[in-house]
């Protein structure tokens, strides 16, 4: 039953020395705590004297807030209540600091979406807090709301990417194929809900405000709290507790929650725990942006793409949050890993009166990848081409340019992943077998679907240069090293792979490197834990810091740097270095090693320092009585530079593929009056072990010369292409066209019956 996997290096990769720790499957750093139940997640923290905090939320999509009245018959003496008026009185800035500065912590005048926070309550127990909330009367005057993003007129952000001249390409075209594709929301559905514990300002520590909880980006919270309270960042101390999954859902939202908890802690003078239950987490927090992507594609007789016109429209929800950045990544990936000289990509993200959409693994790329990869199958069908052959003729080769004109040295990895996955999935033989099987089968049909995709590593354009992230290592007696970064562990393996990178750099054993969950009082700002940047970007900075340590220690010991240390020599040198008063801290800062250049105004140039590439094949069986889809097999080839920890890399890819299949098949957010109507795991359907198929992975490794030991970012890549691959497989099985996900049985039935009616009337 063990899944077989191939790992090979392809192409002209530079030869590298044999690694001792990198590339091995060392045990997860915090594994023992997690397996024994000792790991402390935010809900497990025993906080003496803490009160329970809760949020009172608006029922309307849009409304004027007329007044908040506390029932005078209720005993409010043991309750703290915070509203926007209190913030105003105290001179607090009622703005969740992010890109647009348009989102308040608490509604002051006008509600912009259902479940928006209107008041905060803290009481000694949850029951008392809930009782108090029932004694609060809030009056609203309902206002007309915009709930349909396709009709919405308020734009948060627009982008346009131009390459070549479309007007020249289309008149020359043998074929012009158009299509419009729609994708729905997706809930991150980490199994640990959002939760924060905040402590009141501590006069004994200079008024420090401490916050602990489940999060991806501790320094984002520092910035948000500093702005809210109008105090220096140094006074905010943010400590990550063991975090039960994030997937983007704990990127920006915890800023809001931490602000709420900190406000209540200050109001009641006690620690306050705010732990969302599943319903609150699902209805009130961010989701993947729904969208519509339209394609108009010009091709010549040989099936080569001459021109691509792509229009991306995303639903941002009620506030700007991260939407401009999501849109940016969406347009930058909208033309896919394909060669095309004439491209116009326009993108727009609009406002609706629904809870703000935000970061979710893939960050705009799954939306545009679904559209493009589904569209290419439609193109193939319309021009009478094999879908594989169509992609083969158009995928980028080494050194060819993307839509922004970026020449990517290893772009040919896109072709290599395609050929690898076709071979591994026995594409041609399976298709033949399906044709025969489908002729015999009465109630079931089988099909095969393909998707090719890529994902840029790290922040877009000049983002990493502006971030200028820092990481440090600390030398400890008698001879070990401690990693200090703000990158969070949320399951992906940050702590383990960082220890591997530092150990390998110094030539020390894995267990000589310590790691811990970030505490902003103890770690430098390594940037947020997002954008597939942790290993490839922060890991590289960390390797630089480890090299600085090696250099310092080697100079002290009078030996050549860059040589693996024996434990004895390392301990000796450490003892003497530290005894001599040597500084134990070695820092490094992002240095733009790839010399990336991007024009942020015209959206031209090196959008990303590196790309990881993938091709995925999905095999399905569709039941024609129930239109239920069974995914029989997933085969995926992913080029990731270098797997620092192969088993964790597999885990990332497998988990991402499962999320992508869920989004493509059954994760449907049903919106009613702008509010999620199925905000519970009973009717928002996540893939179970039975729904998720065996996943056969092929790793390709073309080392990225500026990543640590060749690693590229891989966290989001697997999320990007699973949905189009599975929908293409359904379309193949039934001979139908599907342009919307999730492809629920109802939608598949509709497509099938439409096809039957057309055939019948013809």
Partner 1 sequence: MKLRFEVNGRKRTAAVPPMKRLLDVLREDLALTGTKEGCGEGECGACAVLLDGELVNSCLVAACQAEGAKVRTVEGLEAADGQLHPIQQAFWERGGAQCGICTPGMLMASAALLAANPRPGESEIREGLAGNLCRCTGYVKIVEAVAAAARAPGAKRSTRKGTR
Contacting positions for partner 1 (CB under 8 A): 1-3, 25, 27-28, 30-41, 43-44, 46, 188-193, 242-247, 277-278, 490-493, 647-648, 650-651, 654-659, 680-682, 686-690, 692, 694-695
Instruction: Please identify, using beta-carbon distances, which residue of 137 and 680 lies nearer to partner 1.
Output: 680
Sign of the four-CA dihedral 224, 225, 226, 227: positive
Nearest approach in angstroms of CB 253 to partner 1 is 16
Instruction: Please identify, using beta-carbon distances, which residue of 29 and 434 lies nearer to partner 1.
Output: 29
Report whether the peptide linkage leading into residue 681 is cis, meaning its omega lies within 30 degrees of zero. no
Nearest approach in angstroms of CB 64 to partner 1 is 34
- Phi–psi pair at 581, nearest 5 degrees: 80, 20
Nearest approach in angstroms of CB 46 to partner 1 is 7
Instruction: Please identify, using beta-carbon distances, which residue of 179 and 722 lies nearer to partner 1.
Output: 722
3-state secondary structure of 513: strand
Residue 245 sits at the vertex; the CA angle it makes with 243 and 251, to the nearest 5 degrees, is 85
**Is residue 564 exposed (0-12), middle (13-18) or buried (19+ Cβ within 10 Å)?**
middle
3-state secondary structure of 3: coil
Residue written as token pair 């970012």: 713
Nearest approach in angstroms of CB 734 to partner 1 is 26
Instruction: Please identify, using beta-carbon distances, which residue of 193 and 297 lies nearer to partner 1.
Output: 193
Instruction: Please identify, using beta-carbon distances, which residue of 356 and 656 lies nearer to partner 1.
Output: 656
**157 CB neighbour count, 10 Å cutoff:** 19
Instruction: Please identify, using beta-carbon distances, which residue of 534 and 574 lies nearer to partner 1.
Output: 534
- Report the relative pairing of strands 480-484 and 513-514 from DSSP bridges: parallel
Q: Residue 88: enclosing H or E segment and its boundaries?
A: helix 84-89
Nearest approach in angstroms of CB 6 to partner 1 is 16
Instruction: Please identify, using beta-carbon distances, which residue of 78 and 191 lies nearer to partner 1.
Output: 191
Contacts of residue 631, defined as CB under 8 A and 6 or more positions apart, other chains included, come to: 618, 619, 620, 661, 665, 691, 692, 693, 726
Nearest approach in angstroms of CB 521 to partner 1 is 24
Instruction: Please identify, using beta-carbon distances, which residue of 359 and 390 lies nearer to partner 1.
Output: 359
DSSP secondary structure code for residue 541 in this structure: H
Instruction: Please identify, using beta-carbon distances, which residue of 179 and 362 lies nearer to partner 1.
Output: 362
Instruction: Please identify, using beta-carbon distances, which residue of 604 and 612 lies nearer to partner 1.
Output: 612
Instruction: Please identify, using beta-carbon distances, which residue of 40 and 465 lies nearer to partner 1.
Output: 40
For residue 722, CA distances in Å to 243, 373, 616, 623, 636 come to 26, 10, 7, 20, 9
Q: Distance (Å, rounded) from C-alpha 548 to C-alpha 51?
A: 46
Q: Distance (Å, rounded) from C-alpha 220 to C-alpha 254?
A: 9
Instruction: Please identify, using beta-carbon distances, which residue of 32 and 602 lies nearer to partner 1.
Output: 32
**Is residue 30 exposed (0-12), middle (13-18) or buried (19+ Cβ within 10 Å)?**
buried
Instruction: Please identify, using beta-carbon distances, which residue of 13 and 686 lies nearer to partner 1.
Output: 686
Nearest approach in angstroms of CB 558 to partner 1 is 41
Instruction: Please identify, using beta-carbon distances, which residue of 191 and 555 lies nearer to partner 1.
Output: 191
Q: Residue 598: enclosing H or E segment and its boundaries?
A: strand 598-599
Outline where 218-314 has alpha helix (H).
218-229, 253-268, 278-284
Instruction: Please identify, using beta-carbon distances, which residue of 3 and 477 lies nearer to partner 1.
Output: 3
Nearest approach in angstroms of CB 3 to partner 1 is 6
Please report the DSSP string for 57-72 in residue order.
E--SSSEEEEEEEE-T
Nearest approach in angstroms of CB 1 to partner 1 is 5
Instruction: Please identify, using beta-carbon distances, which residue of 147 and 697 lies nearer to partner 1.
Output: 697
What are residue 344's DSSP bridge partners? 162, 309
SS3 letters for 686-724?
A: CCCCCCCCCEEEEEEECCCCCCHHHCCCCCCHHHHHHHH
Nearest approach in angstroms of CB 212 to partner 1 is 15
Nearest approach in angstroms of CB 41 to partner 1 is 6
Please report the DSSP string for 661-691 in residue order.
HHHHHT----EETTEES--STTTS----TTT
Structure tokens belonging to residue 637? 């080839």
Q: Distance (Å, rounded) from C-alpha 646 to C-alpha 651?
A: 9
Nearest approach in angstroms of CB 246 to partner 1 is 8
Structure tokens belonging to residue 750? 């509709």
Nearest approach in angstroms of CB 489 to partner 1 is 8
Please report the DSSP string for 145-202 in residue order.
----TTT---EEEEEEEEES-HHHHGGG-SEEEEEEEEE--B----SSPPEEEE---B
Whether the Cβ atoms of residue 89 and residue 106 lie closer than 8 Å to each other:
no
For residue 285, CA distances in Å to 140, 280, 663, 677 come to 22, 8, 18, 14
Outline where 353-412 has alpha helix (H).
365-383, 387-394
Q: Distance (Å, rounded) from C-alpha 396 to C-alpha 703?
A: 18
Instruction: Please identify, using beta-carbon distances, which residue of 30 and 116 lies nearer to partner 1.
Output: 30
3-state secondary structure of 273: strand
Instruction: Please identify, using beta-carbon distances, which residue of 303 and 655 lies nearer to partner 1.
Output: 655
Residue written as token pair 């602990």: 212
Nearest approach in angstroms of CB 277 to partner 1 is 6
Nearest approach in angstroms of CB 704 to partner 1 is 23
**Is residue 127 exposed (0-12), middle (13-18) or buried (19+ Cβ within 10 Å)?**
exposed
3-state secondary structure of 474: strand
Q: Distance (Å, rounded) from C-alpha 141 to C-alpha 190?
A: 35
3-state secondary structure of 9: strand
For residue 210, CA distances in Å to 97, 100, 241, 259 come to 18, 26, 13, 11
């Amino acid at each position: 039953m063990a899944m077989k996997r191939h790992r090979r290096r392809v192409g002209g990769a530079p030869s590298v020395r044999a690694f001792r720790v990198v590339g091995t499957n060392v045990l997860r750093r915090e594994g023992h705590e997690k397996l024994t139940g000792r790991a402390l997640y935010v809900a497990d923290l025993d906080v003496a004297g803490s009160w329970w905090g809760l949020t009172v939320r608006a029922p309307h999509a849009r409304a004027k807030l007329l007044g908040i009245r506390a029932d005078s018959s209720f005993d409010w003496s043991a309750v703290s209540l915070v509203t926007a008026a209190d913030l105003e009185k105290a001179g607090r800035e009622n703005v969740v600091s992010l890109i647009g500065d348009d989102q308040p912590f608490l509604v002051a005048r006008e509600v912009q979406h259902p479940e928006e926070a209107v008041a905060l309550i803290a009481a000694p127990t949850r029951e008392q807090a809930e009782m108090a909330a029932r004694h609060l009367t809030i009056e609203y005057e309902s206002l007309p709301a915009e709930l349909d993003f396709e009709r919405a007129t308020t734009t948060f952000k627009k982008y346009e990417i131009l390459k070549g001249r479309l007007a020249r390409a289309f008149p020359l075209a043998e074929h012009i194929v158009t299509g419009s594709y729609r994708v729905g929301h997706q809930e991150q559905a980490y199994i640990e809900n959002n939760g924060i514990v905040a402590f009141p300002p501590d006069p004994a520590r200079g008024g420090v405000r401490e916050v602990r909880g489940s999060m991806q980006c501790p320094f984002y919270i520092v910035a948000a709290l500093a702005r809210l309270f109008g105090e220096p960042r140094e006074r905010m101390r943010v400590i990550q507790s063991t975090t039960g999954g994030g997937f983007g859902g704990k990127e920006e939202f915890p800023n809001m929650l931490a602000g709420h908890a900190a406000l209540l802690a200050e109001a009641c003078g006690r620690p306050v725990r705010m732990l969302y239950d599943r319903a609150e987490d699902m209805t009130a927090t961010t989701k993947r942006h729904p969208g519509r992507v339209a394609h108009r594609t010009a091709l010549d007789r040989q099936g080569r793409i001459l021109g691509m016109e792509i229009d991306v429209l995303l639903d941002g929800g009620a506030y700007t949050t991260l939407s401009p950045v999501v849109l940016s990544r969406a347009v930058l990936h909208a033309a896919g890993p394909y060669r095309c000289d004439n491209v116009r990509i326009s993108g727009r993200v609009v406002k609706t009166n629904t809870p703000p959409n935000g970061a979710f693994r893939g960050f705009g790329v799954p939306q545009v990848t679904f559209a493009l990869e589904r569209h290419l199958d439609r193109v193939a069908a319309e021009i009478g081409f094999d879908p594989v052959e169509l992609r083969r003729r158009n995928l980028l080769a080494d050194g060819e340019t993307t839509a922004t004109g970026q020449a990517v040295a290893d772009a040919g990895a896109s072709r290599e992943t395609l050929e690898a996955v076709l071979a591994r999935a026995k594409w041609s033989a399976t298709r033949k077998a399906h044709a025969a099987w489908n002729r015999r089968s009465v109630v079931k049909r089988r099909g095969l679907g393909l998707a090719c995709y890529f994902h840029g590593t790290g922040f877009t354009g000049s983002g990493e240069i502006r971030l200028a992230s820092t990481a440090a290592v600390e030398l400890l007696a008698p001879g070990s090293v401690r990693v200090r970064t703000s990158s969070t562990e949320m399951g992906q393996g940050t702590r383990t792979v960082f220890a591997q990178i530092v150990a390998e750099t110094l030539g020390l054993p894995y267990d000589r490197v310590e790691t811990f969950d970030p505490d902003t009082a103890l770690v430098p700002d390594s940037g947020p834990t997002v954008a597939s940047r942790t290993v490839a970007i922060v890991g590289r900075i960390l390797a630089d810091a480890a090299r600085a340590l090696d250099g310092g220690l080697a100079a002290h010991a009078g030996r050549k740097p860059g040589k693996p240390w024996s434990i004895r020599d390392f301990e000796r040198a450490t003892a003497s270095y530290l005894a001599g008063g040597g500084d134990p801290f070695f820092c490094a800062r992002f240095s733009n090693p790839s010399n990336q250049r991007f024009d942020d105004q015209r959206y031209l140039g090196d959008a990303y320092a590196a790309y990881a590439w993938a091709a995925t094949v999905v095999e399905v069986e569709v039941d024609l009585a129930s239109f239920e889809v069974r995914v029989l097999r997933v085969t995926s080839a992913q080029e990731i530079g270098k797997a620092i920890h192969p088993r964790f890399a597999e885990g990332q890819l497998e988990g991402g593929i499962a999320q992508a299949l869920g989004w493509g098949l059954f994760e449907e957010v049903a919106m009613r009056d702008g509010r999620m109507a199925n905000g519970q795991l009973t009717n928002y359907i996540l893939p179970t072990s039975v729904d998720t198929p065996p996943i056969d992975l092929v790793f390709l490794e073309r080392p990225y010369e500026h990543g640590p030991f060749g690693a590229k970012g891989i966290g989001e890549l697997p999320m990007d292409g699973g949905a189009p691959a599975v929908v293409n497989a359904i379309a193949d099985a039934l001979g139908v066209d599907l342009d919307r996900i999730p492809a629920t049985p109802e939608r598949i039935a509709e497509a099938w019956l439409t096809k039957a009616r057309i055939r019948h009337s013809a």
